[in-house]
Structure 1
């Protein structure tokens, strides 16, 4: 009979008994590759044109409305929610953004980095969220272009971001951000993104503490699967966030005229935050590894308890088995077999031996 070969999906299901949906940890996008992003269904363009004495907030219906703010002497923040090649190409062409930067904006899976091209500074970094329903980490790519008197930010998902604190500060009269330049606005955007990483870390920390209690009470295979999921999410978070440290360091080392030396201390503050974030990530990764070790320790303790009970029961039954075996032999010349009360005497002796052994074991603390 020929050997039956399982189809590939069945083989994968057999290797994945917990039915865990795995995600790709690494994305490969060549620097000169073709843009591999699915166009957004709709694009939302908002503009904040501000100075110390005024702030204009506009929602643009088309790209042409954004172009007029290039000539204003005040600082402009143009935020694009939803990435489509037509809008990105038009904005980059009008604002003199290099075509290599345009390619980085359109390509997905970019590693966090900072580049200085021409008279503009460009950075790309992840904006991270924690999905409480699936207990998984989600991220979107954010691109920021810093130019003279303007900042352009590109986001993938128009339904969510972490920039609301920056918008609220821009709407406030007399706020520090209204009196500063475009480089301070760039700092403010980086700062709220990095601060959002700590929110995700807090959620992961809560899951880790919860899993520690679960493993101590009930070390099951389901608990092990959840530990592995936590480890995978931490790995994804670490791969996404770790390069942000180099990004912020690039701003600190840059000699660009776009960066005011008075704002260097603010970028140093972001640098300190991202270092702290990376250290917390490493600590949580160690905690998850300790959870795996705790799971195996609890499993061994549980197995030892089972083996201990079996050993005690076997030891208690051994003398009784010997007595029953002796009197179960088919010999004719056994005096006890002729006794009318031999059965009851034998049972009584066996019970007394059992009780004595239980008392001895209990006194020694064996169970």
Structure 2
């Protein structure tokens, strides 16, 4: 049998995975710049729209995006897969500051917002729940808002949460088509934040199942599940908490790129992210209570064992005393030569414990 498969029956595999998962969650060191691997494949999609028309297509190279600048329409350029050459090239044309390009190319950045030289830059993580490994996975996304354009940089081309935007762009009367680039930026951020609730719902289901397991039975594997789930909540909190500051920065921004009519929509996202953060705190409190419940169950089981051992010891005490008295090596012991002495002694050894059990039960010592 494979050793890892063998260990999982005892929960040891979960304990072994915990340290590595901790490293994944807290792997950010601002003094060390981790190297990003160049994407093997890059997919570029451009959606150019106005209230009257909309066109969306996949581009073959980064140079094809240059023609969308200042064409009188709102343009959304979505780049799946990050390469330094592509980021630098499109950054030069669309006025993305070199410091912002470094943030786009960075790994493990804390969610942030910057307003630099005519563009608003938002960096945050999209979260997904892996049903196979039961872990929270994150994908860094960078969103650049400029005059009549939004450029988004994603790491993974296989998944995102923006399909509702693509569907809305097909309809002429949709709000996305009728408003500017700032509303498109709002819609993207809103979908990312709303997807946090999907991940939290999955974790909430696991917490409920684990709570039932702790109440029903207590084992070392149960403790391992509690510890692993606590780490996933830490990963969730680590990604959600800074987004409050990001949305707050947009609300306080005085940039001309943000229309006053769009500000109220960002206020709605701020309310959602506050609720999401409070929910993660509630989940954290539940996990702490669950860990206390686990410890209390262990102590309760230990107390039950000690109670049984104490009762057995008390019941055996009369027999031990009687046997010890009549087993002493003295020549003269009362009733020593009585022909019924053995039966009397055995009778006392049986009757006294039964009488003691009656007293214990009457005093309620067997109640939990």
Q: CA deviation at 1:346?
A: 1.6
Matched residues in 2 for 1:361 and 1:30: separation?
A: 66
Q: Is the 8 A contact 1:122 1:146 kept in 2?
A: yes
For 1:337, what is the secondary structure of its paired residue?
coil
Please give the TM-score of this superposition, normalised by the length of structure 1.
0.91
For 1:348, what is the secondary structure of its paired residue?
helix
- Larger displacement relative to structure 2 (140-149 or 356-365): 356-365
Q: CA deviation at 1:232?
A: 1.4
Matched residues in 2 for 1:213 and 1:50: separation?
A: 52
Q: Deviations over 1:56-75 (max 9, x none)?
A: 11011111222221142111
Report whether the alignment pairs 1:20 with 2:23: no
Q: CA deviation at 1:200?
A: 1.1
Which residue does 1:147 correspond to in 2? 146
Q: Is the 8 A contact 2:14 2:228 kept in 1?
A: no
Q: CA deviation at 1:334?
A: 2.9
Which residue does 1:12 correspond to in 2? none
Q: Deviations over 1:17-69 (max 9, x none)?
A: 932242323333548x7662111121111111111121111011111222221
For 1:46, what is the secondary structure of its paired residue?
strand
Q: Deviations over 1:326-350 (max 9, x none)?
A: 1111223235332333222221221
Matched residues in 2 for 1:323 and 1:213: separation?
A: 49
Matched residues in 1 for 2:145 and 2:353: separation?
A: 85
Over aligned residues, Cα RMSD in angstroms? Answer: 1.8
* CA distance 1:239–1:224, change in 2 (3 Å): same
Please give the TM-score of this superposition, normalised by the length of structure 2.
0.91
Q: Deviations over 1:141-188 (max 9, x none)?
A: 110000111000001111111111111111223111111000000000
For 1:338, what is the secondary structure of its paired residue?
coil
Q: CA deviation at 1:132?
A: 1.8
Which residue does 1:289 correspond to in 2? 288
Which residue does 1:199 correspond to in 2? 198
- Larger displacement relative to structure 2 (347-356 or 153-162): 347-356
Which residue does 1:262 correspond to in 2? 261
In structure 2, stretches of 5+ residues that fail to align are 1-11
- Larger displacement relative to structure 2 (107-116 or 36-45): 36-45
- Kindly tell me the number of residue pairs found equivalent between the two proteins: 352
Which residue does 2:166 correspond to in 1? 167
For 1:251, what is the secondary structure of its paired residue?
helix
Q: Deviations over 1:224-251 (max 9, x none)?
A: 1211112111112111111101101111
Matched residues in 1 for 2:364 and 2:177: separation?
A: 74
Q: CA deviation at 1:296?
A: 1.2
Q: Is the 8 A contact 1:35 1:106 kept in 2?
A: no
Matched residues in 1 for 2:296 and 2:64: separation?
A: 64
Report whether the alignment pairs 1:328 with 2:332: no
In structure 1, stretches of 5+ residues that fail to align are 1-14
**Equivalent residues in 2 for 1:1-367 (5 A)?**
18-21=15-18, 22-23=20-21, 24=23, 25-28=25-28, 30=30, 36-367=35-366
Matched residues in 2 for 1:133 and 1:151: separation?
A: 34
